[in-house]
Amino acid sequence: MVEHRRSALRTAAVWGALQQALQQNQQQTGQQDQQQVGQQDQQQSPSGWGSPCRVVDLGGGTGGFAVRLAGQGHEVTVVDPSPDALAALDRRAAEADVAARVRGVQGDATDLGRLVGESSVDLVLCHGVLEVVDDPAETLAASVGVLVPGGLLSLLVAHQPAAVLARILAGRLDEALELLRDGPGTAVPRRFTEAEVLGLLAGAGVDDSPYLHGARVVTDLVPGAVVDEPGATDLLLDLELLAAERPELRTLASQLHVLSRRR
Ligand SMILES: C[S@@+](CC[C@H](N)C(=O)[O-])C[C@H]1O[C@@H](n2cnc3c(N)ncnc32)[C@H](O)[C@@H]1O
């Protein structure tokens, strides 16, 4: 139960931001549709994408986000090289009664375009994947390549400063030093600074001003016993969501989350 609460808190900021972006898109698309009907020009397709969306979850693993999105009616394809993860995804989707809207495809990021089709999906999740692939820039380009123009990229990466801080607080000073010296993430799993993430995005064909926020600012710092206290979950959730938006607290975030549209 505590683990369930922790997991909900860990994903709260990312899920919240994603939901907001999906709602905004739906509103924009609705307005464009109305304008087009007013202009008697119903053949022209809107530049936003509608709902339900076509979603690809690259390296989606056991499908935490995929199953939740399918529960909202979206069509989700999870591309992951791990057969075990895909089997767990199938079980999870069946338990949630969304198996008809979740498809698992065994494959690698380098094959993404061939597996799902270039310029064919509305939303790509690339969460926790740039840390482990051979070439993060190539994976990012593949993720953007399968989006329709205007489609949304949700990128989540491990944040280097928080990893350094965690090791200092735990007294693991050698590891902290190694992480700091490592530069732009050569050791796998990689961790990224904000500048490195923005640098990768700059060459990826997405809009110039992505929405960037922190995730797991509070959840990974708070002592475990506090999560157990009666009434703590709501308080922690409010704290997590507020802290995620504060640039001055972003340095402490275990992850960085970026939302950006394909140009
Ligand atoms: C840290 S897990 C992240 C899982 C999930 N996206 C999440 O955020 O909880 C990394 C995932 O990337 C997958 N992965 C590893 N190498 C990959 C590759 N070359 N292409 C695509 N996915 C890969 C792993 O199998 C694993 O499911």
Whether the predicted pLDDT of 1 surpasses 70: no
Task: Give 56-88 pLDDT, tens digit per residue.
Answer: 999 999 999 999 999 999 999 999 999 999 999
Q: How far is the CA of 158 from the centre of ligand 1 (A)?
A: 13
Q: What is the structure's pLDDT at 45?
A: 34
Average pLDDT over residues 148-167: 96
Whether the predicted pLDDT of 235 surpasses 70: yes
* 3-state SS assignment for residue 210: coil
Q: How many CA atoms lie within 13 A of 223 on its CB side?
A: 3
Nearest protein CA to atom 13 of ligand 1, as residue:
59
Side by side, which strands form the sheet with 102-106?
102-106, 75-80, 54-58, 121-127, 147-158, 255-261, 211-215
**CA pair distance 148, 123, nearest whole angstrom:** 9
Of 194, 159, 150, residue with least CA distance to 179 = 159
User: How sure is the predictor about 257, in pLDDT bands with cuts at 50, 70 and 90?
Assistant: very high
Task: Give 101-115 pLDDT, tens digit per residue.
Answer: 999 999 999 999 999
Mean per-residue pLDDT over the chain, rounded? 90
Do the beta carbons of residue 130 and residue 103 sit within 8 Å?
no
Q: What is the structure's pLDDT at 182?
A: 76
| Structural domain spans, the chain | 2-26+51-159+189-261
Task: Give 180-195 pLDDT, tens digit per residue.
Answer: 887 655 678 999 999 9
Do the beta carbons of residue 154 and residue 126 sit within 8 Å?
yes
Tokens 């400063």: give the residue: 161
Q: Which two tokens stand for residue 88?
A: 């767990």
Whether the predicted pLDDT of 142 surpasses 90: yes
Q: How far is the CA of 130 from the centre of ligand 1 (A)?
A: 8
Mutate to test the pocket of ligand 1, among 62, 115, 132, 159 (most ligand atoms within 8 A of CB): 132
Q: What is the structure's pLDDT at 260?
A: 97
Atom of ligand 1 nearest to the CA of 134: 19
Q: Which two tokens stand for residue 161?
A: 């400063």
Atom of ligand 1 nearest to the CA of 125: 6
Alpha-helical (H) ranges within the chain are: 2-38, 64-71, 83-95, 112-116, 136-145, 160-169, 173-181, 194-202, 224-228, 232-245
Rounded to two decimals, the pTM is 0.93
Q: Enumerate residues 6+ apart whose C-beta is below 8 A from 149.
A: 47, 119, 262, 263
* 3-state SS assignment for residue 134: coil
Highest mean pLDDT among 32-36, 180-184, 235-239: 235-239
Nearest protein CA to atom 11 of ligand 1, as residue:
59
Mutate to test the pocket of ligand 1, among 69, 114, 129, 254 (most ligand atoms within 8 A of CB): 129
Average pLDDT over residues 224-242: 89
**7 compared with 187, residue with greater pLDDT:** 7
Q: Does domain 2-26+51-159+189-261 have CATH number 3.40.50.150?
A: yes
Annotate 138-199 with DSSP letters as a single string: HHHHHHHHTEEEEEEEEEEEEBHHHHHHHHHHTT-HHHHHHHHHT-S--SSS--B-HHHHHH
Q: Which two tokens stand for residue 249?
A: 């607290």
Average pLDDT over residues 118-142: 97
Q: What is the structure's pLDDT at 34?
A: 65
**183 compared with 161, residue with greater pLDDT:** 161
* 3-state SS assignment for residue 63: coil
User: How sure is the predictor about 5, in pLDDT bands with cuts at 50, 70 and 90?
Assistant: confident
Share of the chain above pLDDT 90, in %: 75
Atom of ligand 1 nearest to the CA of 156: 8
Whether the predicted pLDDT of 42 surpasses 50: no
User: How sure is the predictor about 25, in pLDDT bands with cuts at 50, 70 and 90?
Assistant: confident
Of 140, 105, 103, 101, residue with least CA distance to 124 = 140
Q: How far is the CA of 105 from the centre of ligand 1 (A)?
A: 13
